[in-house]
Structure 1
Amino acid sequence: MKNITSIILIAIAIITSFSACSDKELNEHKKNWAVSFGFSNEALKKNHSATPDAMVISIKNDASDYELYMERLELYAIGDGYITANVELLEGNYTVEDFIVVDENDSVMYLTPKEGSNLSSSVNTPLPHPFNVNAADTSNVILDVIPTNLGEAEDYGYTSFSFNIVYPISYKLVLSLPFNGNANDESGNEDHASVSGAQLTTDRFDQPNSAYEFDGYDDYISLSSFYDLEVRTINIWFKAYEITEDLSIVYNSDNPSLENGRSILALREFDGADSITFVMDDNTYSKRTAVEENTWNMASFVRNDSSTTFYLNGELIDQVPASTISSIDGQTETAVLGTGRNLNRFLNGKIDDVRIYNRALNASEIEVLFNLEE
């Protein structure tokens, strides 16, 4: 063991479950194993006042392809240490390419230096470090990490202590309504929605009882709040049966009490063309673009503290300044689906897979949502 303040981080391959690979997988004879990574918290407290919040990990397979690249894995306190969310890996050989502990602000607390760097000799296990996953002998992977105050990023083999971290698509998800037979929130927050008239129907994959249908007259769904978040992402799938000159609403969060501005998805025929309008306050901060009837579409708002970005079907539509303007009246007490703030302008169509995040997703993450097949 090297004579330096270091913390032993143990990546423990935990076999919690396995399932046979599907027929579509290239390695049909192999199994998936749930792997998690953990470390002791005892030494961390001696060097940092902040609490470890996540690990950022990169892993390559034996074909030198990334299985994970700078992916942020949530940590859970277990006894006197922490363990990450599970990662499923096929049996085989892998290498750990990046191994980093961050706090809740994603500031780096500890990391494992890379081979050839000035500090690589300070640990027994510089990166890349190999490990194996197999049914007979899934070995524990033991890595040493050292605090970031021992040198500059280059001394650890990194170009910077700031990383482009890949967040799991469930990170800071505050509402998830997949409409799997009901209007229950599956984010873990139990912010269940209330259905008024809308009926369960097939979703975009033709799965029964997996979306809600709105009749265009009086059907709507009430959410549990306005989700008046300064930083937020709103992502909704919808299918309009008919778009006319009369306005119809897919999503509405609008009330004089809002501190961070309204959010509205509206459908209407303009100049003979079917259109969707993204609204953040008045026409200054809105965007209208073409949309097709009888087709599933995905609409996304992404608002940070300075701007709001609009996407349709994963494609960038426009970016406008962030707004705090709302209407002067509003009958609904929460955000609603399928109607406006005064319970009018009803949608004739379907809505599915409503997601609201307490963070601003980037373009790549919006694309991931568009390509989800579940």
Structure 2
Amino acid sequence: MASRGGFDCDVLVIGGGIVGLATAHALVRAAPGTRVTVLEKEPGPARHQTGRNSGVIHSGIYYRPGSLKARFAVRGAAEMVKFCAEYDLPHQVTGKLIVATSRDELPRLHTLVQRGRENGIPVRELGPPQIAEYEPEVRGVAAIHVGTTGVCDYGAVADRLARILTGSGAAVHYDAEVTAVDRRPWGVAVRTADERVFRAKALVNCAGLHCDRVARLSGDDPGMRIVPFRGEYYELTDPDRIRGLVYPVPDPAFPFLGVHLTRGIDGSVHVGPNAIPATAREGYDWGTVRPRELATTLAWPGTWRMAGSHWRYGAGELRRSLSKPAFTAAVRRLLPSVTESDLRPAPAGVRAQAVLRDGTLADDFLIKEAPRTVHVLNAPSPAATASLPIGREVASRVLRWL
């Protein structure tokens, strides 16, 4: 499929979510004149992880100092606010509370204080009276206020990035699902489901929920599999009960933040998510089952090792998925006055979680290089926040092939 001549572009980017678009944007800015083409299988940008989250601009407080997540989230939060302001996109820097609801959570809360300070994030410690000043209906024994957290519309950010790209001469092709990759010493060619062929000098894989599949199409062993976790949300029928963002103290053994309350840019308050294995990579409800994708997940040894390590946590998440009373009880830890009637269903999202062969859940961004190729293999939250720094990092790696 590939040949030495006749390149259609210099770099092909697979994936039109925020990370793929930010990477293309970084390439165009770092090396003006570089011909960049983005291939997205959906009819528009940001149809999955980017467009199906609560829109939080994360501060970086949760992440190990020195990790890619910590460095890119801290930097990315400031850059995302600046980008939104520059292009007049809706955003707010609201700050957030992380609330300990029992004394046994206090050591973990104090660890977050230290981690925040090591990451250069302003953190204020609060007692119960100060919690009530920020959020009158929230209860806790202690909390921290993180001032750099905010909210925005990541779908709007992705749409703006796509328009910037096309305005600068890059190409963004929708309805372009990649079905074959042919990599040779002189370049890469890909074929799409509608039999179009694109030839380039280098390839970037930002396929999100399908990144491991694209890596295997390229002839590379990614050493992981994407195990999709569905996050189910409710929203408050009376959003005025919450002023901003309220989070529990997370369990460090699992890469999910627990059920939290997020006042979005539109004024609604999302409640959730839980985290349960999805039966399809784009399985936004129980009725979506794709047997081939499910079989791939179940055939991966890491899936079973992960399940063996975390089955108690998973059982609790499954219970909250199937039982609204159980979900409501989880919310009451932060908002004691909430009732089932105060919650109505909201659209779900799916997290593309990389699971290693030994069952380890990848806890940092995972970027791997191969000949003429860069694979972004783990970029769930806070990847949207960190998308601009991630894009620059990936661009710096791929430019070496040009």
Same fold (TM over 0.5): no
Q: Which has the higher strand share?
A: 1
TM norm structure 2: 0.26
Higher relative contact order (Cα pairs below 8 Å, separated by 6+ residues): 2
Question: Which has the larger Rg?
Answer: 1
TM norm structure 1: 0.27
Q: Which has the higher helix share?
A: 2
